[in-house]
Amino acid sequence: MMDLAIVGSGPAGSFAALEAVKAGLDVVLIDKKSIRYGPIVCGELLPSKELLSKYIPRHLSDLLAYTLDSTLTNDVILNRIRRLNVVIGDESIGTFPFDSLVIDKGAMIAHVIDEAENRGATVMFSATVTNCEAGARQRCVVKGRGGESIIEARRIMGADAYPSILSKAANATNFSPRDLIVATSQRALGKFDEEEAIIIMDPKLAPGGYAWIFPRGDGSLNTGLGVRGDAAWSGGNDLLELHRRFIERFNLKPIQRGVLSKTIPVGGLINASGDAYLVGDAVGSVIPTNGAGINPAMITSKLAIDAIHNGSDYYMKLNEAFGPFMRKMTNYRRIADPFLYDHDLMKRLLKLPRPMLRIAMRDAVMGSTRKSSDLLISILGPLIHRKTALS
pLDDT for residue 36: 81
Q: Taking residues 271-281, what's their average pLDDT?
A: 93
Q: Given a cut of 70, is residue 293 above it in pLDDT?
A: yes
What whole-number distance in Å separates Cα of residue 381 and Cα of residue 197? 28
Cα 2 vs. chain centroid, distance in angstroms?
29
Please state the pTM of the whole predicted model: 0.94
Domains of the chain, CATH where assigned: 2-76+105-175+267-328 (3.50.50.60), 79-102+177-264 (3.30.9.10), 336-390 (no CATH)
Type of residue numbered 105: K
Q: Beta-carbon neighbour count of residue 56 at 10 Å?
A: 22
What is the predicted pLDDT for the residue at 35?
Answer: 82
pLDDT of residue 372: 65
Nearest to 345 by CA among 236, 204, 187, 235: 204
Query: Given pLDDT bands bounded at 50, 70 and 90, which one contains residue 37?
Result: confident
Share of the chain above pLDDT 70, in %: 94
Which pLDDT band, with edges at 50, 70 and 90, does 391 fall under? very low
How far apart, in whole angstroms, are the C-alpha atoms of residue 43 and residue 108?
A: 14
Per-residue pLDDT reduced to its tens digit, 85-124: 999 999 999 999 999 999 999 999 999 999 999 999 999 9
Number of neighbours of residue 109 by Cβ within 10 angstroms:
24
Residue 363 has what pLDDT?
A: 85
Residue 366's pLDDT is 87
Task: Please determine, for residue 259, whether its predicted confidence score (pLDDT) is greater than 90.
Answer: yes
Question: Cα separation of 78 and 377, whole Å?
Answer: 36
- Report the first-to-last Cα separation within the chain, whole angstroms: 63
Helix axis angle for 294-310 and 58-71, nearest 10°, is 100
Among residues 273, 268, 270, 265, which one has the least CA distance to residue 316?
A: 273
119-123, 167-171, 193-197, 221-225: the lowest-pLDDT one: 167-171
Q: Does residue 383 surpass a pLDDT of 70?
A: no
The rounded distance, in Å, linking the Cα atoms of 271 and 276 is 12
pLDDT value at 292 more than 70: yes
Is the pLDDT reported for residue 315 higher than 60?
A: yes
Alpha-helical (H) ranges within the chain are: 11-22, 49-52, 58-71, 105-118, 229-233, 239-249, 294-310, 314-341, 343-348, 354-366, 374-390
**Half-sphere exposure of 205 toward its Cβ, with a 13 Å CA cutoff?**
22
What pLDDT is attached to residue 190?
97
Mean predicted confidence (pLDDT) in 316-334: 94
Q: What is the reported pLDDT for 298?
A: 97
Place 375 in a pLDDT band, splitting at 50, 70 and 90.
Answer: low
Has residue 180 got a pLDDT over 80?
A: yes
pLDDT at 196 over 80: yes
Residue 11 has pLDDT above 50, yes or no: yes
- Residue (of 229, 136, 93, 227) closest to 174 by Cα position: 229
